[in-house]
Every structure is written in structure tokens, then in C-alpha cells.
Amino acid sequence: MNIKKLGVVASTGLLVFSLAACGGADSSSDNGKTQIKFINGFTGGDGAYMTKIVKGFNESQDKYEVVQSQEKDHYTKYKSGNYDLVVIHETNLKTYSKDQLIQDAGPFMKKAGLNKEDFSEAGIQSGSVEDQMYGVPLDIHPLTMFYNKELTKEAPKDYAELKKLGETLQAKDSNLYAFGLPSTGLTTFYFTAAAAQNGINLEKDGYLDFTQEAYADALMQYHDMIFKDNASPDKLGLDGEFQAFMKSADEGAKQAAVTMTGPWYYQAVKEKYGDNLGIGAMPTLFKTAATTGNAHTISVAAAVKDDKVKDGISEFLKYLYTPENLANWAESGQAPSHLATIDLISKDAKKYELAAKNQEQLKSYVAAPRVYQFDEQLRYMNEVVFTKLTNEPNLTKEALMSELEKATKAAKQIAGTQ
């Protein structure tokens, strides 16, 4: 009898404990302010600038408080955590809206006094899913060219110039190269560049179709840049394009005069090269000029229902999209999509050097295909195909096509999971 009673007590205790654990988080903080939990992946040099904006908002508020988390793998944290506001890349927006992880940002924009017309065309595209705004456009970050003025006075404009630069540098020192192609890391930008600059549409019925002759030819050009033209070293590994730019040939390492990388490395390259740092536009590596990259947007979690939190989000957007405040983001090197901020940057192009330069090249910006699970559909390409292109001197087009078939098959299966 006692054991039975004890069992009931233990079960009740367990139930109470479980229910307590399942309870939702309170949105109020100890200081009585309504908290907005904001997560982003700004762990690079740009992180401090977003923190500055958040800090500025919190200091200006007596009703709301933005609690920011900056995580390297912020998507995983977002999916498994309890956040109100999240930074989402344009390539993930379709997936997150389909998976009901985010809600329509339109009402929040309206309350913050923002309209579609306040943003650049590329910005509007970056935040839309089937004509509905699921993300408030923050910036577009194209593949950005930095160059070492000690090794090249001008920014190479196309592959012919890069090749010539490579030949000149190789004649001086066998460890000096024109640029570096990474084996993994930012390879998505290189895949989309090969498609955009050759006028190839990778999207087919909701999946990425890589098995196109023209695309295989374009990718083989990357292979030739290393193994035929010697314009880039081979086997540079993860983030090799940036690492090779930061190395010194004098120390026996392979050094690149030019890097095509993410703008978030701006602080690091500026610190290393100072006045010798040059900023250029993405060169035409293939047939036509086209700039590729990705965009950041700010989305509201689907779970946000509390009116106070909703009001707080609108208030934060209002603060963020004030040119003087968003200019902090431009200072980090990112090119904002907000037109009034773009105006401010263009008036002070010296202060916002990188943002202003990147703004110029956005005229030829070609967004990545909008497919469900874009990153996952590209996983095999990023983790296997580009490594083969940069590591295997004897790779043939036939062998590459076979890999592209595997990548397409995986992409098709992933697209089918929606």
C-alpha cells in the first residue's frame, strides 16, 4: 500500500516537474522591460557593429530590451531554442517559410513605418517569398575582392588580367599567386558565380540540376585556373581564398595577391594591409559580368504571438532602419539594402569604403536560385565536388559529370522532402 502511494506521489512529482519544464519562457525581464530574443550568426568582424546597434536601441528604450545571441551555428540554435527575431540568409528564406519557422514580416514592417519601396530592388527580392515579405532586407554581401597593392596596383577586372597577374608573380616567386580558390568553405559563392557568369539556370522543378554540359565546362575552368594556368595554388583547404591572402611568401607559404571572399573579413584584411589594401569588384571569371553572394534578412519567429513582443520587434525595426543607426552596419563592410542608408553611405564613401564599393557592384547582382533546402541541396557540391576540382590534377570532365549526377540526385531527393 505504502509503495503504491509512494508511486503515485513520485509520478505526480514527475508530472509537475515535466510540466514546469514545458512551460513557455516569460518575455518580461527583471527590470520590467519586455524582452525580445534576437539571434544571429555575426561571429566575424561584423558582430561588434550589430552589437553596437542593439546596445544603442536598449539604451534608448524604457519599454523593450533586445537580448542578442551571436552564434556560429545560429540556425541550429534557432530551431532548437526559443527566439523572437532571427537573421536569415535569402537562400534559406523559402525553406524557413515553408517549414513554418518564420511568419509574414509585412505587419511588423508596416508598424515600423517601413514599405517595400524603402529598399533596393535586390533587397526586396532577398526578403520575398512568392511576393510576400518574410524577411526585412538587411544587406547584400557579394563575393568581395580585396587586393594587395604591393603586388598589384589595379584590381583585375577579368580572368585574363588575373591570369596575367599570376604569370608576372610566378616569375618573381613560385610562392606568389594571383588568387586562391578554396577547397571548402565559401564555395557556394563560386558555384553560383560559375552559373551566373555563364547565364546558366541551375533550378529545375524545385531542385538544383548540376548535370548540364555548360555547367561542367564552367566548373572545369576552375580546375584549369589551378592546374593549367597556375593562377591559384591547389589544395588550399577550408577558407583557403582568405588564408592564402593573409600568408606571406617570404615565410615559405603560398601567398595570393587577390582574394574573392566575404566582406566580413574586412576588419582582418584592413588590419593586416592598412593603406596597401585595395577593394575591387568581382571580376568576370567567365563569359559575362555578374555579381553573386547572399543577403541577410531579419525574420520574426512563427511562435511570436505576444502583442508586447510584437510591438517591441516593430520598435526595434524602426530604430534599426534609421540611416544613422544602420550606417553602423555599413561601417562593418556590409552593403545595406535600405535606400535611405544607401544614400547616406554614398555621401560619405570614404568612411563606408567597402559598403560603398560593394553597393556599386550590386547593379549586376544575380541572386542564388530559390529552392527548398538550398544549402542542403548544395552540400555534396560544397563538400565533395569543389574539393575534387581544387585537389585532383587528373580530374576529367567525365569524372566531374559523374559527380554532378550524384550531386543532382541528392539535391532532387532533398527537394522531395518538403
Partner 1 sequence: MHMSNRSKWFGFIFVVPFLISFLVFWLTPLLYGVWISLHDFRLSVGNNGFIGLKNYVDILTPDTLYYNTFVNALKNTLMFIVLSVPPLVLISLALALLIEHLPKKLKTFFRTVFFLSYSISVTAVSAIYLWLFGANGGFINNLLLKAKMIEAPINWTGDQPYAWLVIVIATVWWTIGFNMLLFVNALDEVDGALYEAADLDGASAWHKFRFITLPEIRNISIFVMITTVIASFNLYGQSLLITRGGPAQSTTSLIMGINTTVFGNNQLGVGSAMALLMGIIMMVITGVQYFASYRSEKEEAPRPLEEKKRFKRAINLGPTNVNQQPAATTDKKEREL
Which residues contact partner 1 (rule: CB under 8 A)? 2-3, 6, 10, 13-14, 17-18, 75-76, 79-80, 95, 99-101, 183-184, 233, 235-238, 240, 243-244, 247-248, 251-254, 373, 375-376, 379, 383-384, 387-388, 391, 410, 413-414, 417
User: CB of residue 13 vs partner 1: minimum separation in angstroms?
Assistant: 8
User: CB of residue 102 vs partner 1: minimum separation in angstroms?
Assistant: 10
User: CB of residue 108 vs partner 1: minimum separation in angstroms?
Assistant: 20
Identify any residues that bridge with 147 across adjacent strands, giving them in sequence order.
258, 278
Closer of 196 and 414 to partner 1 (Cβ): 414
Closer of 115 and 418 to partner 1 (Cβ): 418
Closer of 254 and 310 to partner 1 (Cβ): 254
Cα 378 from Cα 141, distance rounded (Å): 19
Query: Which residues in 178-190 are b (16+ Cβ under 10 Å) and which e?
Result: bbbbbbbbbbbbb
Closer of 291 and 382 to partner 1 (Cβ): 382
User: CB of residue 154 vs partner 1: minimum separation in angstroms?
Assistant: 26
Q: Select from 159, 158, 177 the least CA-distant residue to 168.
A: 177
Cα 409 from Cα 211, distance rounded (Å): 10
CB atoms within 10 A of CB 412: 16
Closer of 146 and 374 to partner 1 (Cβ): 374
**Is 351 in a helix, a strand, or coil?**
coil
CB contact set of 166 (below 8 Å; sequence gap of 6+): 177, 178, 179, 229, 230, 231, 232
User: CB of residue 2 vs partner 1: minimum separation in angstroms?
Assistant: 7
Closer of 247 and 338 to partner 1 (Cβ): 247
Q: Select from 189, 177, 182 the least CA-distant residue to 148.
A: 177
User: CB of residue 409 vs partner 1: minimum separation in angstroms?
Assistant: 8
The CA angle 325-264-242, to the nearest 5 degrees, is: 165
